[in-house]
Amino acid sequence: ISNLRSKVSKFARRVWKIGADDPRKVIHCMKVGLALALVSVFYYTRPLYEGVGGTAMWAVMTVVVVFEFTVGGSLYKGLNRATATLCAGALAFGIHWLAIKSGKTTDHIILGASVFVLSSVATFSRFIPAIKTRFDYGITIFILTFNLVAVSGYRVEQLLTLVQWRFCTITIGISICLTVCVVIRPVWAGEELHNLIICNLERLAESIAETVAECLKEEGSTTAECKQKSTSKVQGYKGVLNSKASEDSLANLARWEPSHGRFSFQHPWRQYLKIGAAMRHCAYCIESLNSCISMENQQPPDSVKNHLAVFYTKLSSECSKVLKEIANSFRSMKRSSSVDYLVEEMKNTAEELQTALSSLPQEATAVIMETLPLITVASLLIEISQRVEGVVD
Amino acid sequence: ISNLRSKVSKFARRVWKIGADDPRKVIHCMKVGLALALVSVFYYTRPLYEGVGGTAMWAVMTVVVVFEFTVGGSLYKGLNRATATLCAGALAFGIHWLAIKSGKTTDHIILGASVFVLSSVATFSRFIPAIKTRFDYGITIFILTFNLVAVSGYRVEQLLTLVQWRFCTITIGISICLTVCVVIRPVWAGEELHNLIICNLERLAESIAETVAECLKEEGSTTAECKQKSTSKVQGYKGVLNSKASEDSLANLARWEPSHGRFSFQHPWRQYLKIGAAMRHCAYCIESLNSCISMENQQPPDSVKNHLAVFYTKLSSECSKVLKEIANSFRSMKRSSSVDYLVEEMKNTAEELQTALSSLPQEATAVIMETLPLITVASLLIEISQRVEGVVD
């Protein structure tokens, strides 16, 4: 039992941590609860009940399905849902009308065939990447509504009313959803993306500086605690490596958002993805550098180490300065004037390092394995930071 | 107009290519159409209609939402949907019963509060990673069903019947779905994952061999066509870099699949993810190697090149042999006996290369920048292929 209890308490602590790390998640949950409670109130009110009738459940369903963590997500789903319902309803109504006109036996065939063909075509269109990223949810709803109307229309005579009510309740659901989502502590996908990029830039900057420091540090000179701290900083680049998926999805959702705060409607979100790719490119290098360092079993002679250490430290600190400056210019949304200057300085240091390498003492060739990746990373960094700089707004 | 026409034909060609590249996608679309047509037939049949009543739409809805490309996806959604509906229905029924018992005014409060609290808690649980990967869809359905029953229960007196019918129609929908999905040309997520890993191993193997060949090749000695072909092979590693997301989702879905073909129910899918991570680790190195090669503006002296070329070619071909052998052993699902031997050989070659580096002529230090990353990659590769080898079934 004590084993079980410790497990439960461990789980509870982890859950608590999720909430404490990002209170917006807790607020989001309350918002969902609130939106659903609002819909219920709506349902309980008698006069409305008479009007909206049994289809009020569509409003509940819409709120449950459409409400997302970010405003962009809710907008994407809401707009897709409304448009798809309207299109599919109209189309199904047309086909149904055609089927009824054509007589008793053919109507079965027309309806069945249209269900088969349209569902297949719509499903196929989900495999087209350009459509998938923007309208995936819409197509699901299109298939759903079309089938519901086409099939149920056969029974219920008041087809038009059904489509109308469905659209109406869905609209109500979406408006409740969006109102709650935007009014109470909105979470904008665009802002999330912006912050993610800034955070990744800073992680990368720290990672570079720490990796090099780690590499030059003398063994045994640090306490375990201090080591752990720096290791966590070094690992920062791993987050950058794995952030592609979240960047992509955030950029997709950000596209749907209206202008908010410092971001306009057609903010160049694609540029963020490019910067993300450049950062990942950079992180790959840090990854290889890191594995080189952790592999070194042969201790390089101190003479070589000292010969290069100065340049290493200088270059890495300049790289991380450039990245931090870019992060700052992102934060203020202004093109920083000092980036060019810093990049220039970084280039010079890289050249100095190259010269220093050519003038290495003979014994150094033995340890080259350990020292070389660093300069590779350095030169790559120059290229990358230039690219990053080029795409800042 | 001709501009528009060319655009349309271009789009059509691209769509056609998607279908031609993977005919299973086309088959999938037909399967969706078929499943929906089956549900419609179900609906048209009068005796069933009397029984299932207006809730038949749940069957349509279930098919639309549950039908996924892979069997694992359909199973995941189907099981989640059924379980969640049952749980939420029972819970909502209980709370509703409690509310009715407690009198006229308090029942509003009890129902409203329970909607708010349960929705919030359920939404929060979606943020817990362990729950999100397995039950994300189930929780959505739980919230949905609970709200529908709790809210509609206030009106409709036959609550129990409602829950029963809803569960019944959903089960019918799921059975139609799964039958069509499994019987007609099933696409197993597990098999997809298996093939993806094999394909990535081969891509990596080709990529390594081609990159080194590219690096050693003399300028101008190849035709443009030949160059393009080898470039596409070199780029193979990029696919490996970006396949993390699809690997993760496939492994998640594969977990739900029963035993099929050569895969048992509890096939160690986690191992596949580990191998995937090891491959990505390897691809990072190739990425840095590649950028080193493309950057070289200084031409290394031929003496150095010749001194090392033999080892480069040997090592890279041995690396790619190991990877190909692993791919083969995956394909046959048997532990290959020759992997150990090949790895041993690769290690020896790497050592030879190291010796060759130490005995480099003095002039070589100037070009070290270009030559060194390769040995880094080589030694990394040893480590990685050992790891990969360790996890082969």
Which of A209-218, B85-94, B261-270 bottoms out in mean pLDDT, i.e. has the lowest?
A: A209-218
Q: What is the DSSP string of B126-181?
A: TTSHHHHHHHHHHHHHHHHHHHHHHHHHTT-S-HHHHHHHHHHHHHHHHHHHHHHH
Task: Judge if ipTM > 0.90.
Answer: no
How do residues A234-254 score in pLDDT, each as one tens digit? 777 777 888 888 888 888 888
Q: By the 8 A CB rule, do A149 and A93 touch?
A: yes
**In terms of CA atoms, which chain A residue is nearest residue B143?**
A64
**Closest Cβ opposite residue A29 in set B123, B366, B375:** B123
Between CA B37 and CA B162 the distance in angstroms is 25
Partner-chain residue, chosen from A40, A112, A292, that has the shortest CB–CB distance to B37: A112
Tell me the three state secondary structure of residue B392.
Answer: coil
To the nearest whole Å, the CA of A7 is away from the closest chain B CA by 15
Q: pTM to 2 decimals?
A: 0.81
Q: Do B33 and A119 touch (CB under 8 A)?
A: yes
Rounded CA-CA distance B52/B44 in Å is 11
pLDDT at B153: 57
Interface touch A123/B29, C-beta < 8 Å: yes
Q: Percentage of chain A with pLDDT > 90?
A: 0
Window 69-88 of B: residues touching A by CB (8 A cutoff) are none
Q: Which residues of A touch B49 (CB under 8 A)?
A: 155
Contact B245 A242 (CB under 8 A): no
Residue-wise pLDDT tens digits, B17-72? 888 888 888 888 888 888 888 887 776 665 444 444 456 677 788 888 888 888 88
CA-wise closest residue to B326 among B202, B187, B180, B193:
B202
Listed range (A4-18, A40-54, A145-159, B76-90) with the worst mean pLDDT? A40-54
With 70 as the cut, is the pLDDT of residue B188 above it?
Answer: yes
CA distance B291 to chain A (A): 8
- Indicate which of A26, A120, A292, A383 best probes the interface with B, i.e. most B CBs within 10 Å of its own CB: A120
C-beta of residue B149 within 8 angstroms of C-beta of residue B92: yes
Q: How far is A64 from chain B (nearest CA, A)?
A: 6
Chain A positions touching B148 (Cβ under 8 A) are 57, 60-61
Minimal C-alpha gap between A98 and chain B (Å) = 18
Triad A193, A282, A337: Cα angle to 5°: 70
Closest CB to B36 among A29, A43, A115: A115
B354 by DSSP, 3-state: which? helix
Read off the pLDDT of each residue in B149-170 and give the average, rounded to a whole number. 70
What pLDDT digit, counting tens, does each position of B317-350 carry? 877 887 888 888 778 777 767 777 777 777 777 7
Place A40 in a pLDDT band, splitting at 50, 70 and 90. confident
User: How is A180-226 classified by DSSP, letter by letter?
Assistant: HHHHSS---HHHHHHHHHHHHHHHHHHHHHHHHHHHHSPTT-S-HHH
The answer to whether the CB atoms of B29 and A121 lie below 8 A apart is yes
Q: What band does A51 get if pLDDT is binned at 50, 70 and 90?
A: very low
3-state secondary structure of A103: coil
Two structure tokens written together for A182:
């935007």
Our CA-based measurement puts residue A115 at a distance from the nearest CA of chain B, in whole angstroms, of 6
In chain A, which residues have their Cβ closer than 8 Å to the Cβ of B15? Answer: 128
| pLDDT at A19 (0 to 100) | 80
Interface of B with A in 3-22 (CB under 8 A): 14-15, 18-19
CA angle B285, B288, B294 (to 5 degrees): 140
The whole-angstrom separation of Cα B284 and Cα B301 is 28
Q: What is the DSSP string of B56-117?
A: GHHHHHHHHHH--SSHHHHHHHHHHHHHHHHHHHHHHHHHHHHHHHT-TTHHHHHHHHHHHH
Give the per-residue pLDDT at B250: 86
For A365, the closest chain B residue by CA position comes to B358
B285 interfacial to chain A (CB closer than 8 Å): yes
**What backbone torsions phi and psi does residue B227 show, to the nearest 5 degrees?**
-65, -45
CB contact under 8 Å between B151 and A40, yes or no, is yes
Through-space distance between the first and last CA atoms of chain B, rounded to whole angstroms:
59
CA atoms A289, A293, A298, A301: torsion sign: positive
Rounded CA gap, B296 and A376, in Å?
11
Question: Does B369 touch chain A if contact means CB atoms closer than 8 Å?
Answer: yes
Mean pLDDT of B303-322: 74
What band does B216 get if pLDDT is binned at 50, 70 and 90? low
Q: What token pair was written down for A58?
A: 């569509």
Indicate yes or no: CB of B61 within 8 angstroms of CB of A144: yes
Dihedral, CA of residue B191, residue B193, residue B195 and residue B198, to nearest 10:
-140
**Are B375 and A369 a contacting pair at CB < 8 A?**
yes
Res. A297: pLDDT tops 60: no
Least confident of A317-321, B157-161, B316-320, B368-372: B368-372
How many CB contacts within 8 angstroms connect chain A with chain B?
Answer: 210
What string of DSSP letters covers B288-301?
Answer: HHHHHHHH--SPPP
CB contact under 8 A, B365 and A369: no
For chain A, report the end-to-end CA distance as a whole number of angstroms: 58
A172 touches chain B (CB under 8 A): no
pLDDT grade for A89, boundaries at 50, 70 and 90:
confident
Of A317, A307, A319, the C-alpha closest to A368 is A307
Q: Any chain A CB within 8 A of the CB of B97?
A: no
For residue A101, the model assigns a pLDDT of: 79
Q: Is B30 an 8 Å CB contact of chain A?
A: yes
Q: Which residue has the higher pLDDT, B383 or A206?
A: A206
